[in-house]
Chain A
Amino acid sequence: MAKDSKLILDPLTDNNPITIQVLGICSALAITAELEASIVMSISVLFVMGVGNVVISLMRNIIPSKIRIIVQLIVVATLVIIVDQVLKAYAYELSKTLGAFVGLIITNCIIMGRFEAFALGNGPWRSFLDGIGNALGYAVILIIVGFFRELLGSGSLLGYKIFGDSVAKTGLYAYGYEDNGFMLLSPMALIVVGIIIWVQRSRNRALIED
């Protein structure tokens, strides 16, 4: 049991997919300009990874190793399309927010990475936990980055103005505060991720490689 809980908890901290395994960086940079987008992406990846890991794990003994990457790709793509279709039918507004991410989920290397590294060699239950754990680890970083980028870049969180109105110069803006538009661009996401990596490793020296 103790080992099972490690599958969920490890990716949150000491084996985080983004900050330690350095997977899924591309999507972490692309979609974290707003907190809402980060959350939607996190939930989508959570579903795709949880189910995908189980499917691959169930099929692990019958997948021909020569085409296993293609099989993995098909599983991810199918799941993503199912998510997209269900949302389009029953949560139309949300599906439009997700629209931009469908392609990004398929190319997310965390998903393929965990299929390849874990689900192909472990049972369905443990693969499920591993999928959920890694997706949550991904979500934590995405939400932290999205939080700071939207707050400092647009002065808002989930679309609500936190610092007052930048056009009418109310709230903080009345004192000369300005949003940092650079935060909205991808390079700043990389820098924020870098800062998280730095903080994490300075708190836990065991993570520093030689």
Chain B
Amino acid sequence: MEKRTEKNTYTVLFAVGMVLVVGAILAYLASTFRPIIQENERLEKQQNILYTMGVNNNTEGAANFVSTEEAPKLFEKYITKQLVIEDGQVKEDKEAYLIDVKKEQTRAKEGKTRRLPLFIGEKDGKTFYIAPIRGKGLWDAIWGYVAMDKDMVVQGVYFDHKGETPGLGANIKQRYFMDDFYGERLLTEAGVFKGITVSKSNADPTNEDKNDYEVDAIAGATITGDGVSAMIKKDLRLYVPYFKQIKNKG
């Protein structure tokens, strides 16, 4: 005699029932948590942007953000202007930092114009131009923010990743890697965009040379490092016309 649970109709009904129950649980959870998660992501963006211009709680050797409680206040204080560059037109937009770089990259691929957010920060009389970048690592997405001065010399970076290997590629968000970018140039003397390469062979592990367009790579994280070079070159190049424009103005 066949057991009840072995019948085909039972199997199909069970599968359908299970999918409905699990689907309902997950949909309920996702909609309950969405506002909280979005708020977390918003604060994190503010923390990231502030981090690149030196507004952070860094301790020796470790990267630390300002607290989530302070972030909105400090963001208001230090980020004086938020711009969106679209087709060479520069507009102010108070919520430019919420622009999803991934979506904009997809738009560009589809042949539409890409909106480029740029945040202008002022601290101790210095002006920072902060741009978001995004690319591919070994396993998944990597992204970051780069703070530059008006000559596109790097003043600070923050990198993050979705799923790089712990201990290897994941170390792009460690200070010893990010701090190396400080002072590196993106433009040649002639003003041509060259970008920065994460290099395994620059023979400059302590990164003394700031004019070589290279920083020292992390051993064992070649593909993640290449991803960092690629996203810097691809995304920051798009900002060159804007920097040329402000240079000509004054």
Contacts and interface: CB of A to CB of B under 8 A. Distances in A.
Interface of A: 30-31, 33-34, 37, 61-67, 70-71, 74, 78, 81-82, 85-86, 88-90, 92, 96, 99-100, 103, 149-150, 153-154, 159, 161, 165, 167, 181, 184-185
A31 B166 contact: yes
Contact of A34 (B11, B25, B61, B166): B166
26 contacts: A30-B165, A37-B166, A61-B5, A62-B14, A63-B5, A63-B14, A64-B6, A65-B5, A66-B11, A74-B18, A74-B19, A78-B22, A82-B25, A85-B30, A86-B29, A88-B37, A90-B36, A92-B37, A100-B162, A100-B163, A103-B163, A153-B167, A154-B167, A167-B176, A167-B205, A184-B167
A63 B10 CA distance: 10
Given A99-B163, A150-B167, A74 B22 contact: yes
Given A62-B5, A99-B162, A88 B14 contact: no
A38 B226 CA distance: 27
Contact of B11 (A64, A81, A90): A64
Nearest to A40: B166
Contacts of A88: 33, 37, 40
**Chain B interface extent, by class:** 35 or more
Contacts of A86: 29, 33
A186 to B, nearest CB: 9
B247 to A, nearest CB: 36
A62 B3 CA distance: 11
A71 B18 CA distance: 8
A100 B139 contact: yes
Overall SS of chain A's interface: helix
B219 interface: yes
Contact of A33 (B11, B29, B44, B168): B168
Contacts of A181: 219-220
Interface string B40-61: 1000100000000000000001
Contacts of B18: 71, 74
Contacts of B5: 61-65
Interface string B113-127: 000000000000000
A100 B164 contact: yes
B62 interface: yes
Contacts of A92: 37, 40, 44
B118 to A, nearest CB: 25
B15 interface: yes
A185 B220 contact: yes
A153 B219 CA distance: 11
A80 B168 CA distance: 25
A157 to B, nearest CB: 13
Interface string B135-160: 00001000000000000000000001
Nearest to B163: A100
